[in-house]
Structure 1
Amino acid sequence: MPPDAPDFSRLLDTRRTSTDGVGSPAVRRAANEGRLTRLRRSIYRDPLVPLEELAPDERRHEGRARFLEEAIAVGLTRGGPVVFAGETAQQIHAIPALGELPGHVELLEAVGSTRRNAFGITVHTDGFRPEDIEPWGEFFVTSPARTVADLAKWQSRAKAVAALDFVLNSDRAAPGQRVTKQEVEAALDASVAVRNRRTAESVIAFGVDVAGSVGESLSRVLMDEFGFPTPRLQTRHAAPPGLGRWFYTDFEWPELHLVGEFDGFVKFSNERFLNGRTPAQVLFDEKRREDALRASGLRVVRWTWDCLTAPLRLRELLVAQGLRPTRARRSISRGW
C-alpha cells in the first residue's frame, strides 16, 4: 500500500458544499480576488507561500504535498475509476525522484479507453494486471513495481534508474516500497505497449540493489554513458578503530587502485546517515575512513552534485584519475 492516504485537508470541494455543483458566488468571488486558488473546476485551495521562500527541506516536502493535492483535484473531477501512474505514482509512493516535480498528472487507462490527454493530464493507455494496481483512498495508483516499470518506458534513463535502484534496496525503501527485479520485469511483461520496451528492459537490467542514494545512481548512469569501465559497488573494507567493523566504498576500480565517492548533502543532514552524530563528526569519520583507504594503497576521488548537474565535470575528474572509456560512449543524460 502507498505510505500515506490522500490528504484532502487543504482542499475545498464546492460540489459537496453547494447545491449547483459549481460553488457559491462568494467562493467564485474569492477565487477571482485571489483569496482562493482554483486547482480544477469546483476544487479550491487557500493561496500558499511561494516555494522559493521556504527552507530547502520544507520546500521539498511542501512541493510534493502541493503536487499531490493537484493530483487529488484531477481525481475528484475526472469521473470514473482513476489510476495514477508514472511520475504521479512515484510521488504518491514517495519514491525519490531526480529533478523538478512533475508538471502534469499521469493516468493509466485500460486498452480500449477513449479518454485522452487533457489540460495538465497525460493519459497512458496500456494493459495491466490486477496486482499492478493498488487502492489510494477513493482512487487507484500503480504498484511500486509497475510504477518503476512504467518510468523505465516513459522517463529518461537517469530518472528511471534512480527510482529503480531505490525500490530494489531494502535498506533504503520501506516495506511498502520494496520490490524485486523479477517483480518489475513481470509488471513490464503485462504491458502491451511496444514503444520503448527494449529501452525499459535495458534500464531494468541496469538496476542494482546496493545504490545508497539518488546521486550514486546518477553517477553510475553517467559513468556508463561515458563508456568508463564498470566499477565495483559497495566494496567492503575494514574500518578504523571506533568506527565499527566494516565500511563500504561507493565505487571502486581495483585495477587502478581507485575509489570513487559521491558526497551528497544528505550524508551530512539525514538522520539515517548521521546516526546520532553531528555533521562535523560525520565529516571527521569520513576523513578517517579515507585515510585508511589511502594507507592501504588506494587513491580516493570525491565529487558532489556540481559534477552531476554538469556531467562533463565528472568525466574530466575521472579521466584525471586515469579512467579511460572502454566502449562506445552513449548520449549523455540531460532531461532530469
Structure 2
Amino acid sequence: MLKLVADRQGGAFSRGQASECGYTPDQIRDRLADGRWERIRYGQYAEAVELSHLAPWDQQGVRHQRLVHAVMNSMRPGTVAVSHQSALALHGTPLWGVDLAEVHLNRLDRHRGGRIAGVRHHRGKLTAADLTVVNGLTVTTLPRALLEMACTSSFEAAVISADAARRDHPISVDDLQRLLEVTEFWPGSATARAAWRFSDPMSESVGESRLRVLMHNHGLPAPVLQAAFADADGFVGRVDFYFADEQTVVEFDGLLKYAAGTSDSLIREKLREDRLRALGLQVVRITWADLDHPARVIARIHQAFARSRRTA
C-alpha cells in the first residue's frame, strides 16, 4: 500500500501516510536507521535508491525531484506551481552548476514570496500557457522554467540546460518570443537571452556544453558541431567540434564514455583518431578533469592551431 502511495508522489511519502499504511513508530525508526528509508525533509521519507550508475548531475537531479515531491506533499493543492530549476528537474532537463539545495515554487495564491524552510517562494505572474503537469504536479512549462532558471544562474549553467532542452524538446518560436517579452525586464534577463542565443541542440552532453562555453569565453572562433568525416575507406565518424579554418578537431571524452573499459573500444577510438590525423587534421582530446584547468585547455587548442598552420 505505501509503495503505491509513494509511486504517485515521486517516491516520497509522509510520516502520516506511513502510519496510515500500518507502519509503527518503531518500524519507521528502524527503517531510517538501517538505511532502507531516507529522510528527504522533516516528516517526509522515501525508500533508498541506488544512483551510482548515473552521472553526477543526473544523481543530483533525481535527489532534487524527490525533494520537490516531498515539499509538494505538504503543500495545499492549487496554491503553488513548481518553477525554476525545480521544474527543470521534473522535466528531466540536465542541471549543472545550479543550486539545488532549495525547492523553487511560484505562488498561485496571495501568499507572500521569500524563503521558508528550505523553499524559495516566487511571485511571478503566470498564465495558463505557462503551466503544465508533470508526474501529477503543477509545474511551469519547460521554456518558462528554463528562462526562470537562466535569470538566476550563470551563463554556463543556463547554456547547459538550454542545449539539452532544445535537443530533447521542441520549443515553438511563438512561445519563446512571448516568454522573452515577459521576462525582458527581469533581473538576470540579459544572461538568459545571451544563453538562449548561444545554445545549440547539436551539443550532445553536459561536458560538450561546458567545453563549448569555455572556448567561447576565451575568444575562440565558433566551431562546427558534429561535423562528419570520411576517407577512402568510408565513414570515419562525427567529431564534437571542428575548427575548419584551423583544420583542427576537438573531442570531449565524457566522464562515463569508457565506463565499460573494454580494450576494443579504446582500440577503435585510437584507429578513428589515426584516420582523422591522416586526413590532415589536428586532434585535441579534452577530458572532464581538463575542464578544471581552462587556461591549459585553451593553450592546447592554440598549439594545435599552430601545428596546423606549420603543416599547411
TM-score bin, normalised by smaller chain: 0.7 to 0.9
Question: Counterpart of 1:288?
Answer: 271
Question: Counterpart of 2:13?
Answer: 11
CA 125–224 in structure 1, closer or farther in 2 if over 3 Å, else same? same
CA distance in 2, matches of 1:264, 1:114: 43
Cα contact 1:12–1:43 (8 A) shared by 2: yes
CA 149–300 in structure 1, closer or farther in 2 if over 3 Å, else same? same
Confirm whether residue 57 of structure 1 aligns to residue 63 of structure 2.
Answer: no
Question: Counterpart of 2:205?
Answer: 213
Given candidates 218, 234, 240, the residue that maps to 1:226 is 218
The TM-score with structure 1 as length reference comes to 0.74
The TM-score with structure 2 as length reference comes to 0.79
CA 181–285 in structure 1, closer or farther in 2 if over 3 Å, else same? farther
Confirm whether residue 260 of structure 1 aligns to residue 246 of structure 2.
Answer: no
Question: Counterpart of 2:67?
Answer: 70
CA distance in 1, matches of 2:127, 2:231: 47
Unaligned stretches of 5+ residues in structure 1: 271-277, 324-336
Question: Which secondary structure state, in structure 1, belongs to the residue aligned with residue 187 of structure 2?
Answer: coil
Shift of 1:79: 2.2
Cα contact 1:111–1:127 (8 A) shared by 2: no
Given candidates 286, 303, 308, the residue that maps to 1:303 is 286
Confirm whether residue 321 of structure 1 aligns to residue 311 of structure 2.
Answer: no
Cα contact 2:11–2:46 (8 A) shared by 1: no
Confirm whether residue 94 of structure 1 aligns to residue 86 of structure 2.
Answer: no
Question: Which secondary structure state, in structure 2, belongs to the residue aligned with residue 290 of structure 1?
Answer: helix
CA distance in 1, matches of 2:139, 2:262: 38
CA 15–253 in structure 1, closer or farther in 2 if over 3 Å, else same? closer
Question: Counterpart of 2:3?
Answer: none
Cα contact 1:134–1:142 (8 A) shared by 2: yes
Question: Which secondary structure state, in structure 2, belongs to the residue aligned with residue 102 of structure 1?
Answer: coil
Question: Which secondary structure state, in structure 1, belongs to the residue aligned with residue 54 of structure 2?
Answer: helix
Shift of 1:212: 1.6
CA distance in 2, matches of 1:69, 1:59: 16
Aligned residues: 295
Between Structure 1 and Structure 2, the one with more strand by share is 2
Given candidates 88, 101, 104, the residue that maps to 2:102 is 104
Shift of 1:62: 5.8
Question: Which secondary structure state, in structure 1, belongs to the residue aligned with residue 94 of structure 2?
Answer: coil
Counterparts of 1:130-149 in structure 2, within 5 Å, are 130-149=128-147
CA distance in 2, matches of 1:58, 1:231: 26
Identity value in percent: 25
CA distance in 1, matches of 2:109, 2:181: 15
Structure having greater relative contact order (Cα 8 Å, sep ≥ 6): 1
CA distance in 1, matches of 2:134, 2:38: 24
Shift of 1:17: 4.6
Question: Which secondary structure state, in structure 2, belongs to the residue aligned with residue 238 of structure 1?
Answer: strand
